[in-house]
Structure 1
Amino acid sequence: MPSTRFRSRFTRGLLAATAVTALATGLTACGGDSAASAPSDGKNTAGTVTVGALSNGAARQTDLKVSAVAAIRAHLPKSVTDSGELVIGVGALPAGSAPLNFIGSDQRTLVGSEPDFGRLVAAVLGLKPVVKNFTWENLFVGIDSGKTNVGFSNITDTEERKKKYEFASYRQDNLGFEALRTSTWNFSGDYQVLAGRTVAVGAGTNQEKILLEWRTKLQAQGKKLTVKYFPDLNGSYLALSSGKIDAYFGPNPGIAYHVTQNAGTSRPTRNAGTISGAGTTLQGLIAATSKKDSGLAQPVAEAINYLIQNGQYAQWLAAWNLSNEAVPTSQVNPPGLPLSNS
């Protein structure tokens, strides 16, 4: 996850753009929580998890058949197996960040790609998912205290966090460029394609740092990249719609959400390319996060790989328009953002 400053700015922008209702403590988890029952005979027991429910158009509601896998469940810590529950922490208070975690169309239920994926993992483990909503800071307090088993909340794997937590990766941590659908411009991964372009970015964000570094390199070559700032996300999108900027550079999930929301308008947009939130030297990863030495990272990674191999993972990403953040496999404690960039 980017810095606190970035998180607050991103959240405020999405709040202004989507008018998400502020959350209160004690929110209920989304429908479709019935995990596959724990297999008692060594076989797989099928169940159904609904993703994208109550998403208000942010996702395509999809029913996914999932089996509880005894061989993977057997690797869980005994305390978790005995409880019969997987307590999933989400740091969405107070306002959420669509499409990751936000209030659903019933104005009370926590929905989003992150709690949905936690429920899918719980189903493979044969556990009842219990989704708890926290502020970002209290999410980690819950993990530290053992009251929360695992966080599914767009948490970036970093070397600093590995001092206290263990990870099972499940998504790329990407930034994206959003352009009008009528534009032919694409970001190929090479900053040189930004020469002569005008790009909006949020001040004080990780993506601003990357964009300004590229601007400096282009200036050294006698080329120009114009960086624009607006008071909020609505301002950036108005500038994009009116043709005052060529692209908006921001968090890929937020762009995925906005693309779905304006698809039916007169000026629809598209994702014009992505780059790792860690920059050009390392692919950042989003990971399920548990207390260090809890013994949960390995079985959670196995459950994620089961979902990857059996197709539910790809269907989940497609439902939330996040297929461009797919990983080929879940890794336990993969290389994270270095200490100098944590």
Structure 2
Amino acid sequence: MLRTSTRRRITSRLLALAVLPAVVLPALAGCSDPGASAAGTTPETTAARNGVVYNTSPEQNRIRAEKNAALAAKVPAAVGKDGKLTVATTAGSIPLSFHATDDKTPIGVELDLAQLVADKLGLELDVQVTSWENWPLKTQSGDFEAVFSNVGINAARVKLFDFSSYRAAYMGFEAKKTSSYSVNGADDISGLTVSVGSGTNQEKILLAWNKELEAKGKAPATLQYYSSDADTILALSSGRTDLNIAPYPSVTYRENTRDDLKVVGKVNAGWPSETLVAATTLKGNGLAPAITDALNSAIKDGSYGKVLDRWGLSEEALPESKTVTEATFGAAQTGAAK
């Protein structure tokens, strides 16, 4: 039998656990992916202040397209032989690509656009979730045929990959709503703690800004790295970091669905030049031109616009998709949308 003192300790712990959810769950619910809660306990739609109602359920009822025989004929034999388009995505950032309320189905604008491309090319979409660090190597090895995961075109990547542009590329700075930060350049992050993803275009921006600050004799920003969006936003909302820099669609989503965060700055992902978000394929394998043509077909028939509208990203629409390779990279930068 338990002694009286032991029973008292257990009772105290149970009472503490019973009270804990009322204290922490509101904070966790606001910073985790929709699929982070147990199945059936998370709302399957989110109404945002920008008027968009986000469907976060596994049943997406995606906008689909018909096979275009002429486009399908352009698919390289090595890609089309199994009848699938194997697409990698990181599934870590709403509304780009993330897990649905079942905590396993990848959804978001990236997958919707990949679906349109696969449909146009007459291929079955095979989505593979991977980490940001792994997609380059696995695309080079042939495990992935294309990457749809908010990949920005840059000088280092065009040495290894070809691209088919499909969205404007911006990064946003976000902070607590009670803050007075406004970020327009390097001087505005001096001495602050900023969270950023490793190996990303936004990290390149911050590293360049820190060099600029050091050259001026000013304190650089402290860069903080986290393993997930949930950890990143929890750190921001709790005051452990001052700012977070992330894809603009994600920071605006949080501004429109939360009460504690706001957007405090916007910068092109290719700073100091300009860049675009693009489907990423292995350099020289011939798939990029087929994807570009499929995207342009979707732009022309309106299905591309419907997908962006669905996720509140119509302002990032491009009038045309272009194939960008190492040889055409300079010209593509000049023509990138502001």
Q: 1:179 to 1:235 in 2, by over 3 A?
A: closer
The aligned residue for residue 201 of structure 1 is: 194
Alignment of 1:147-162 (within 5 A): 147-162=143-158
The one-character-per-residue Cα deviations of 1:39-86 (angstroms, maximum 9, x if unpaired) are: xxxxxxxxxxxx965359xxx966424232222222111343443221
Tell me the secondary structure at the aligned position of residue 329 of structure 1: coil
Q: 1:208 to 1:235 in 2, by over 3 A?
A: same
Q: Report the Cα distance in structure 1 between the residues aligned to 2:257 and 2:306, rounded to whole angstroms.
A: 20
Tell me the secondary structure at the aligned position of residue 64 of structure 1: coil
Q: Point out the structure with the larger helix share.
A: 2
C-alpha displacement of 1:136: 3.1
The aligned residue for residue 31 of structure 2 is: 17
Q: 1:200 to 1:323 in 2, by over 3 A?
A: farther
Q: Report the Cα distance in structure 2 between the residues aligned to 1:138 and 1:225, rounded to whole angstroms.
A: 33
The aligned residue for residue 269 of structure 2 is: 277
Aligned-pair identity (%):
28
Do 1:156 and 1:286's aligned partners in 2 also have CA atoms closer than 8 Å?
yes
The aligned residue for residue 33 of structure 1 is: none
The one-character-per-residue Cα deviations of 1:98-117 (angstroms, maximum 9, x if unpaired) are: 33222210122122222222
The aligned residue for residue 85 of structure 2 is: 86
Q: Report the Cα distance in structure 2 between the residues aligned to 1:311 and 1:198, rounded to whole angstroms.
A: 46
The aligned residue for residue 322 of structure 1 is: 313
C-alpha displacement of 1:304: 1.0
Alignment of 1:177-188 (within 5 A): 177-178=173-174
Q: Which runs of 5+ in 1 are unaligned?
A: 1-13, 23-50
Do 1:52 and 1:62's aligned partners in 2 also have CA atoms closer than 8 Å?
no
The aligned residue for residue 298 of structure 1 is: 289
Q: Report the Cα distance in structure 2 between the residues aligned to 1:314 and 1:225, rounded to whole angstroms.
A: 44
Alignment of 1:1-342 (within 5 A): 17-18=31-32, 53-54=55-56, 63-92=62-91, 96-178=92-174, 191=185, 201-202=194-195, 205-209=203-207, 212=210, 232-237=232-237, 249-262=245-258, 265=259, 271=263, 274-280=266-272, 282-333=273-324, 335=329
Tell me the secondary structure at the aligned position of residue 68 of structure 1: coil
Q: Report the Cα distance in structure 1 between the residues aligned to 2:84 and 2:146, rounded to whole angstroms.
A: 11
Do 1:53 and 1:111's aligned partners in 2 also have CA atoms closer than 8 Å?
no
Query: Structure 1-normalised TM-score?
Result: 0.63
Tell me the secondary structure at the aligned position of residue 233 of structure 1: helix
Query: Structure 2-normalised TM-score?
Result: 0.64
Q: 1:178 to 1:322 in 2, by over 3 A?
A: farther
Q: Report the Cα distance in structure 2 between the residues aligned to 1:238 and 1:182, rounded to whole angstroms.
A: 12
Amino acid paired to 1:17: C
C-alpha displacement of 1:216: 7.5
Q: 1:117 to 1:225 in 2, by over 3 A?
A: farther
Amino acid paired to 1:97: S
Do 1:177 and 1:272's aligned partners in 2 also have CA atoms closer than 8 Å?
yes
Do 1:210 and 1:279's aligned partners in 2 also have CA atoms closer than 8 Å?
no
Report the structure number with the largest CA radius of gyration: 2
Instruction: Provide the alpha-carbon RMSD of the alignment.
Output: 4.3
Q: 1:279 to 1:322 in 2, by over 3 A?
A: same
Q: Point out the structure with the larger strand share.
A: 1
Q: 1:290 to 1:53 in 2, by over 3 A?
A: same
Amino acid paired to 1:139: W
Amino acid paired to 2:100: G
Do 1:54 and 1:106's aligned partners in 2 also have CA atoms closer than 8 Å?
no
Q: Which runs of 5+ in 2 are unaligned?
A: 1-27, 37-52, 227-231, 334-338
